Amino acid sequence: MKKKPLNLRNLAVLGGRYEKKLNELIKDKLNNHSVIDFANSEMKNHVKILRHLRQLNEDAAQALNLPTKEDIANVAKLNMQLEEKLDKMDAQLSKLLEEGRTKKKKEKKKKKHKDSKKFHKQKNNPQNENNGEAAEVETETENSGKKKALYALLANPLVPTGNEQYVRALEDILQRRRNNRDKHSS
Amino acid sequence: MTNIPRKLNFRSLWNKDDLKVGQTPRSAIWKRNKATLWYYPAAAKSKKHQTPLFLVYSLVNQAYILDLGPGSSMIEGFTKQGYDVYMLDFGSPRYEDKHLTLGHYVIDYIQTGVQRALTHSSAAEITVIGYCLGGTLAVMYAALANEPIKNLVLFAAPIDFSKVPYMDNWHKALKEGDLKVDELIDEYGVVPARVMELFFRIVTGPVNVSPYLALLGRSDDQKYVERWRRFDKWVKDHVPFAGTALKELIHDLVIANKLIKNKLVIRKNKVNLKKIKANLFVVSTEGDQLIPEEMIRPLMDKVGSKDKTYKRVKGGHVTLAIKGGIPDFLTDWLESRT
C-alpha cells in the first residue's frame, strides 16, 4: 500500500487527534480524589502565604507612610459612589425630559383630535355650528379659551371670514401680546 | 514535510504589531465604573429594523470577540442586516470591585443599560442577546425585568448545573464541601485573569497544540493568519473576576443550582424563570466542551415564553461569534420577530 505523504494539513489532523487523547488522559488523571485533596491543602498553604505577604505589605506601607492597596481601593470606591450618584441624576433628568416631551406630544395629539372632532361635528351639522362655538367660547377661561376659539374658527372652513366673533378674538389676542411686550420692554 | 520552508513566510505577518480588534464603527453612550455601553448604528444602506439588539457578553473574557475584525464579526453582521446594536462591555474589574455581586451586574449594569438603550433608540421594545455567562445574567435579568423585552436569544449560556459533565469529582467535592475556595477568593479579592485562564485551560484542554498546527498548515493564507492571531489574542486575554460575584456563582449556581430551581434571589427579588415571557431562542453547539447541551437545554421547559425555539448547530463555544456575519437560522428567526 502506498503511504500518504505527510504534509502540514495532515499533521494538523494527526496532532488534533493525539491532542484530544492526551487531554482526556490528563483530565481523567486530574479528576481524582487524591488530586482534589492535594489541591485543597495546597490552596490552604497558598492562602496562608498570600495573607502573610499582604500583612507584610501593610506593615511596610504603614512604616513608610504609604497608602496600601486597600486605601486606594477605598478612594476608588468613593469615586464610584460619586459616579453612581451622577448617573442616577442623569437618568432622572432624562426621564423628566422624556416625560415633558411625551406630555407635549399627548397635548398636541389631544388638541388635534379635539379639533378634528369639532370639525366633523360642524360639518355634519352646519346649522348649530355658530351657536355651539359661541357657547364654548364663553365657558372657556379668558386667554386660552379665546385662543382656542380662534384656532377652531380658523380651522373651520364653514365659518365666514368676516365673522365678528373671529375678529374680536383676534383683536383680543393681539392686544394681550402688545401688553406683554410693553411690560417686558419697560 | 517539503512545503514547510515555503510556508514559513508568514513570519512577517506574525511579527506585525498593528493587530486591531473591534473595528465596527461605534460610540459609547453610557459608562458606569468599568462598564461601557457601546452603540453600533445600523449600516446606512440596510433596511432598518425597529427593535434594537442588546448584547451581553460574559464576565470571563473580553467582549471584543463579538467584533474581532472585519469579516469575522457578529456585530458587523447585525449592523449590515439593519439592526441597531448595543453592547454592554463589563470591562476589567480591579481590586476596588471585589464587592461587586450578581445584583450589581444584573440590576445596575444590565437593567440600567437596557433602559439607556431604550431611551437612546426611542424603540418600544428590545431584543436581548446573551453569550456564555452573559447569557446566564441575561436570563436572570429577563426574569426580573420591567422593560419591554421582545426577544431573548442565548448562546451557550450555562443555566442548569445539576450535572456538570466534566471534572465531575471536583463538582461533587464542591457540593459536599470537601473543596473550599472561599478563603482563596476572599484573599485575592478579585481573582486574577491568569487564574481564570488556568481554570478554563484545565476544563477545556490542558494541551493545546492543534491551533498552532492548523496555523502552520495554512500559514500562506494571510487572512487566516490575521484572524488566527486576533483569536489567539482573545483566548489569552482573560479578565479578572470580582470575588463576591464569583462566590455567589459557585454557591448559588454551581453548588445549589438555584437558577433552574427558581430559588435564586437577587436584591430581594426571586428569579422566577416562568416570568420570562419574551420570545426565546436558545443555541447550543455540538463541539462546545465548556457548556454542553445538558447545561442549557433544561431552560426550555422552565420559561413562560409561548414562542420558544431550541437549535443545536455544529461548532465550538465561540465559533458562531467569529464566523463572520450572522448564521442564517438566526437571521430568519430575528427577521420575523423584530
Task: Give the integer Cα–Cα distance in Å for B154 and B126.
Answer: 14
User: For the segment B203-255, what is each residue's pLDDT rounded down to a tens digit?
Assistant: 888 888 888 888 887 877 888 888 888 888 898 889 999 999 999 999 999 99
- Give the tens place of pLDDT for each residue, B243-299: 999 999 999 999 999 999 999 999 999 999 999 999 999 999 988 888 889 999 999
Least CB-CB distance to B33: which of A11, A74, A83? A83
Cβ distance A83 to B180 less than 8 Å, yes or no, reads: no
Q: Say if the Cβ atoms of A40 and B178 lie within 8 Å.
A: yes
Q: Does the residue A117 lie in any domain?
A: no
Task: Report the residue from A12, A54, A98 with minimal CB separation from B213.
Answer: A12
Whole-number average pLDDT of chain B: 90
Considering only CB atoms, A83 lies closest to which of B32, B188, B209, namely: B32
B210 closest CB neighbour out of A9, A12, A54: A12
Domain membership of residue A96 (yes or no) is yes
pLDDT per residue rounded down to tens, chain A (186 residues): 455 555 777 777 888 888 889 998 998 899 889 999 999 999 999 999 999 999 999 999 999 999 998 999 999 999 999 999 998 898 888 888 888 888 888 888 888 888 777 777 776 665 554 554 444 444 445 556 655 655 665 565 555 555 566 667 777 777 888 888 777 766
Residue A140 lies in a domain: yes
Indicate whether A130 and A104 sit together in one domain. no
Domain membership of residue A2 (yes or no) is no
B287 vs A8, A27, B60, CA distance in Å? 23, 17, 20
Which segment of B42-46, B80-84, B181-185, B187-191 scores lowest on mean pLDDT? B42-46
Q: What is the pLDDT of residues A59-91, one digit of tens each?
A: 999 999 999 989 999 999 999 999 999 988 988
Residue to test with chain B: of A3, A7, A8, most B Cβ within 10 A: A8
Domain ranges of chain B: 22-176+243-335
| Euclidean distance between CA atoms B153 and B334, whole angstroms | 9
pLDDT on residue A153:
57
CA of A35: which chain B residue's CA is closest? B170
Same-domain check for residues A103 and A139: no
Separation of alpha carbons B258 and A91, rounded Å:
32
Distance from C-alpha of B140 to C-alpha of B121, rounded to nearest angstrom? 23
Chain B residues touching A91 at Cβ < 8 A: 112, 115-116
Q: What CA–CA distance (Å, rounded) separates A7 from A13?
A: 10
Predicted complex ipTM: 0.78
Measured in angstroms, the CA of B20 and the nearest CA of chain A are apart by 27
Residue A100 lies in domain: 69-108
Residues of B in contact with A47 (CB under 8 A): 183-184, 187
A32-36, A119-123, B1-5, B83-87: least confident range:
B1-5
Q: Which helix (H) or strand (E) holds A41?
A: helix A33-63
Q: Are B262 and B302 in contact (CB under 8 A)?
A: yes
**DSSP letter for each residue of B302-313:** T---SSEEEEEE
Does A95 fall in a domain? yes
Contact B188 A32 (CB under 8 A): no
C-alpha cell recorded at residue B292: 454542553
Residue A180 lies in a domain: yes
Residues A172, A141 share a domain: yes
Chain B residues with CB inside 8 Å of A23's CB?
Answer: 205-207
Chain A residues whose beta carbon lies within 8 Å of the beta carbon of residue B216 = 8, 11-12
Q: Please tell me which of the candidates B3, B94, B95 has its beta carbon nearest to residue A7.
A: B3
Element (H, E) at A48: helix A33-63
> How many domains, in total, are found in chain A?
2
Flag whether A135 is in a domain.
yes
Range of A124-138, B1-15, B95-109, B165-179 with top mean pLDDT: B95-109
Read off the pLDDT of each residue in B8-17 and give the average, rounded to a whole number.
62
* Whether residue A131 is found in the same domain as residue A96: no
pLDDT, residue B121, reads 92
Strands B279-285 and B308-313 come out as parallel
Q: What is the CATH number that goes with domain B22-176+243-335?
A: 3.40.50.1820
At B2 the pLDDT is 46
What pLDDT is stored for residue A136 in this prediction?
46
Give contacts of A15 with chain B, Cβ < 8 Å.
Answer: 209-210, 213
User: What is the mean predicted confidence (pLDDT) over B106-126?
Assistant: 94
Q: How far apart are CA B96 and CA B74, in angstroms?
A: 32
A/B interface, count of CB pairs below 8 Å: 104
> In the predicted model, what is the mean pLDDT of residues B302-316?
92
Q: Is residue A20 part of a domain?
A: no
Chain A residues near any Cβ of chain B (below 8 Å): 6-9, 11-12, 15-16, 19, 22-23, 26-27, 30-33, 36-37, 39-40, 43-44, 46-47, 50-51, 54, 69, 72-74, 76-77, 80, 83-84, 87, 91, 94, 98
Same domain, A99 and A146: no
Bigger pLDDT: B127 vs A178: B127
Q: How big is the CA angle at A47 (ends A42 and A53), to the nearest 5 degrees?
A: 125
**CB-CB: which of A22, A36, A74 is closest to B169?**
A36
Q: To 5 degrees, how large is the angle CA B66–CA B72–CA B76?
A: 65
Quick check: B207 and A30 CB within 8 A?
no
HEC profile for A84-133?
A: HHHHHHHHHHHHHHHHHHHHHHHHHHHHHHHHHHHHHHHHHCCCCHHHHH
Cross-chain residue pair B167–A9, CB shorter than 8 Å: no
